[in-house]
Structures are given as C-alpha cells and as structure tokens.
Amino acid sequence: MKPTLKSHLQKQSYYIVGEHSGVKLCGWMRKALTEGRVCYKQQFYGIKTHKCLQMSPTVNQCTQNCNFCWRYQGETETGFSKLDEPEFILDEAIKGQRTLLTGYKGNEKCNMPLWKDAQEPNQVAISLTGEPTLYPRLGDFIGVCKKRGMTTFLVTNGTQPEALEKLDPLPTQLYVTVAAPGKDIYEKVCRPLIPDGWERLMRTLELLPSLDTRTVIRHTLVKDHNLCDVKGYAKLDKIADANFVEPKGFVFVGYARQRMTLTNMPSQDEIRQFTTELGEELGLIMADEKPDSRVTVLAKDKKDLKIPGLE
C-alpha cells in the first residue's frame, strides 16, 4: 500500500492490515457499547452488533467508483502487487479491532461486560470498503473464519461472477448490491472501471439461485439518482431469486459528501413506499424495518430472517 494512501486512511480511523486489508469500527459498535442500541443486522438476522468485525481484504481495490460510496476513490486499484495470507489478515484484523476498542474502556457510558465480550468477535462483515471478491484467496479467508466458529457476511457489487462461482466455502450470508434498475442508470451511478460491469452483474444474478447459502439483494437507493423504476428492480430481483431483498437509503457520509447532497438521502417513508411497491411485484412482505438505518427487508416470512443457531 502506498504510504500516502495508508496515511490518508489512518486519518479516517482505519486500522491498516498488511498490504491491502483494513478494519474500521462501525458506528453501530459505538452505539451498542455506549447506548445499548443495535444495528439492523442484529435486529433482522440475529448477529451481535458488539461482536461484529467490520473489515475488508481490499481497502483500495474495486471495479466501480460508485457516486454514493463513502470510500476515498483517488487511488483506486483493480489488482494487487502483493498478497497477504488469510490467517494473517484475520489475526491482524482482530488485533486491529481490539486496538480501536481500547479508547472505549475509559468511557463512563461504555457497557464494560459488552466491551469485554467485544474483544472476541464471532461475526465478520466483509463489507467495509472496496470489492472483496477481487482478493484471490477470499474462500480461504472465509474458511479460516468458519474454522474459528465465526459467521461471515460478504457484500459484493456482483462484477466478479467467476469468483463467486468458485468461492468455497460460501459465506453465511451473501449480499449483492444492485444499485440500478437498468444499464444506463448503472453506468451513471456506479461508474464501473471495467467495460462490462453491467453484463457481469447480470451473470451474478443468474448464478445466485444455484449458490447454497443465504442470499440478499441490496438496493442502495439515492434520491434523484436511482430511486425509481420499481418494475425494473423487480425484474432483476426475480432473476436473482434471493432469500431477502433489502432496500436501503443512501447515507450522506464520508467521501460521498463530495459527490452528493443531503437532499439525496431518501426518507424512511420513501424507502417504505418503494419497499411496499417492490414487495407487491415480487409477492414478498416487508418483514422488518429499521428507520434509524433507513432500511427495510422483504422476505416470504418474517421467521425466515433469523440465522439458525444464533439465538
């Protein structure tokens, strides 16, 4: 990693791991420790907010420069000059999480039993930044997590169908972000760095029904950009046939503030309306919502949300 980029990320409170990975405390980690509030992934699916490790093996590698992304995009790469080992990445990521948590120990509002429990994460959100499927040893990394009894949530932009097809083992839950109802909007909003990004995403959606794991389609919705054409999104969702669909409102944070405005954040009412219309197209119900995260979830039945064995 270039020293200038590393310094830039560290100023943003990233803990850098090796040559291409990183950890950053989720805002909901702070809220869980100091306010007793939990993230939507705990509310919907049953993971524990305070035991979740938010990381990425690709902090600067991606195939898109999405307008709504919080990531610093000034030096985006699509490959690696050196690869770190999966065990090293996980060990150092946990070490980094513990380092970042240190400051909370002196916070009088911090729940100390939760803080102590947070030292041993049991859930890995491979979703912090970049495109994780570009890391060639992602399957090995998920395998290391699995051997240690950790659940894994992988978020991908869907432009690497070959990587998903070969991924072994699969994560506990696989998210594919679909941020456009058609190719024209995709190219304007997601700004692919590869010539066939949309076609690759379509191949991923076609692949999804064959993958033996829990799957989620996430629609990141930006007002005046891609919050439109419910029928177009529904057509794509029918191809993917995922277990769940998550319409989620864009949040005005990080470097997205240089590309968007506060008015581009949809209200929860607008997300709820989109969800209702999409659910009618797909024959699904709005199984839950979390207004403070501007997110809803569509499913066949609310009881399907919780991951077996976590309760």
Sketch out the chain's domains with CATH numbers: 3-301 (3.20.20.70)
- What average pLDDT score do residues 120-141 get? 96
Distance, in Å, from the CA atom of 191 to the CA atom of 157, rounded to the nearest integer, reads 12
> Do the Cβ atoms of 186 and 179 come closer than 8 Å?
yes
How would residue 73 be classed by pLDDT, with cut points 50, 70 and 90?
A: low
Model pTM? 0.96
Q: Would strands 244-249 and 295-299 be described as parallel, antiparallel, or unpaired?
A: antiparallel
Say which residues have a Cβ less than 8 Å from residue 195's Cβ, sequence separation at least 6. none
Closest CA to 172 of 143, 129, 209, 192: 143
Q: What angle in degrees, to the nearest 10, is found between the helix axes of 268-282 and 230-240?
A: 60
| Greatest distance between any 2 Cα atoms in the chain | 52
Rg from Cα positions in the chain: 18
Q: What percent of the chain stands above pLDDT 90?
A: 84
Mean pLDDT over each residue of the chain, to the nearest integer = 94
What does the DSSP assignment read for 138-172?
A: HHHHHHHHHHTT-EEEEEE-S--HHHHHH-SSPPS
Confidence (pLDDT) at 262: 86
